[in-house]
Copies of this chain bind each other. A is one copy, B any other.
Amino acid sequence: MTASPNSTSLSRPETISLFSLTVACLTVLANTFQGDGAPLVASLALSGVAFSATFALIRWLGPTFIKSGLKGVDMSKHHKREIPECMGAICAVVYLLVIIVFIPFPFYKDIVAATSGGGNRDVILQMEHVQQGRLLHRFPHGKLASYLSAIISLQSIAILGIGDDLFDIRWRHKFFIPAFASIPLLVVYFVDFGVTSIVIPIPLQPYFGELFNLGSLYYVYMAGVAIFSPNSINILAGINGIEVTQSIIIAMLLALNDCLYLLTPYPHPATDSHLFSLYFLLPFLGVSFALLWYNWYPARVFVGDTYCYFAGMVFVVVSILGHFSKTLVLLLIPQIFNFVYSAPQLFGLVPCPRHRLPRFNARTGLLEPSVTPWTPERQPKKPIAWALKLLHQFKLLRVTLDEEGKFTETSNFTILNLWLVWRGPLREERLALEITTMQMVVGLFGLFVRHRLALLIFNSDNWGIMNT
């Protein structure tokens, strides 16, 4: 059906499919240069091109990555062989190229207006007009600047992610990589918008008023989201496909949320923000599906930290610049749970081994919860022992004690291990599928809460720029 895992060239059916897809997309793209332009259609078409390009490049460049030392061994397989690592870098580069080429499309209408139509471009223009260029026209420079700042943040995270994959930066250093990458976003937000007020829920309005200006705290909040989102996706990892599927689910739910604003009977004030969001999400879905093809069980490539950071930053960029970062937080609930649940190990209350991915049982071919061993000499302190036993009682951990009541092992604190504690040993792709489904169900519920219940505590929903 598909080419053999070792093949580095596309099979004939693959070539034909990708070629047809690309030609179809480019045709659609060419047809958008009519009337006011159709940026959303153009974005969809470019996403198709992005899919084809990523699909082909991952196949072609795999051996080059291995030769340059970007490779890894899949621990959860019978046959351990080296496969290319850091393939997210290819996704990032294709994505960035597509999103850069896309820049003129959302502004096509304004460009045509400013140059008074294509027909007049050849005549020699008046001196004054030339000197000023299009600066005199009502060109949406603010929109352009925010679009560009998003690209800068995404490029920054790509550069830093590649650096991380190359040099294997220590955990406590890499935690701050997204903070650096979010600087351009925050700086341009500061320079160009500077809206730092939030809408106060109705019950609190008597105390704070309708709007409350968070001032510089608002930047701390945005930086917090920007640091959390990429890292949280990076730590929900360890089995084939899980990094990509969770990112695809979140991106699709964000896109669904955007569509809810576009399909209203009257033009919604936040339409532009959500179109902007779609322009960034659609090509991301394009490159991600291509990556998933190779990364799904049994994985033929690894995605690398680059992909996780990059995906997280795409979500940050659209939600901060589109002013719906609270919605993003709702969609990251499994990641938030995983992070909070991981905290005891991340912050050293419980010993943390180098890898916490589920343990592959070579005899059964199933994944089991991986564990942290305790020796009789090295036992948890009293309050921690008590907490661990409590977690065990609430089925939030598996604790094994010896006959003397001493700890022998505890399952590692990740949502993947916890799921295996609940569900028993599972095949790797089954675990990935279940976690992905859970992500989707939780996310859909989050969106439902956001759109149905938010009206109970806020005056009016979806206020455009203030809907932070």
Give me the interface of A with B, judged by CB distance under 8 Å: 61, 64-65, 68-70, 89, 93, 96-97, 100-101, 103-104, 107, 111, 114-115, 121-125, 127, 130-135, 139, 141-142, 144-145, 148-149, 151-152, 155-156, 158-160, 162-163, 166-167, 180, 183-184, 187-188, 190-195, 197, 209-213, 215, 464-466
Contact = CB atoms under 8 A, between A and B. Distances in A.
A127 B141 CA distance: 23
Given A69-B69, A167-B68, A190-B104, A211 B134 contact: no
Contacts of A155: 152, 155-156, 159
A133 B64 contact: no
Contact of A197 (B130, B184, B187): B130
A103 B184 contact: yes
Integer count of this chain's copies in the complex = 2
A170 to B, nearest CB: 11
Main secondary structure of the interface of A (DSSP, over half): helix
Given A130-B195, A159-B93, A465-B131, A188 B144 contact: yes
Contacts of A167: 61, 64-65, 68
A28 to B, nearest CB: 20
B101 A187 contact: yes
A180 B155 CA distance: 14
Nearest to A134: B194
Q: Which of A125, A144, A215: most chain B CB closer than 10 A?
A: A144
Contacts of A149: 148
Contacts of A211: 124-125, 127, 130
A121 B197 CA distance: 11
B103 A215 contact: no
A372 to B, nearest CB: 29
Given A144-B145, A162-B159, A465-B133, A191 B103 contact: yes
Nearest to A61: B167
Given A89-B163, A134-B193, A134-B194, 12 more contacts: A93-B160, A96-B156, A111-B194, A115-B194, A124-B212, A125-B213, A131-B465, A133-B194, A151-B152, A151-B184, A159-B162, A162-B162
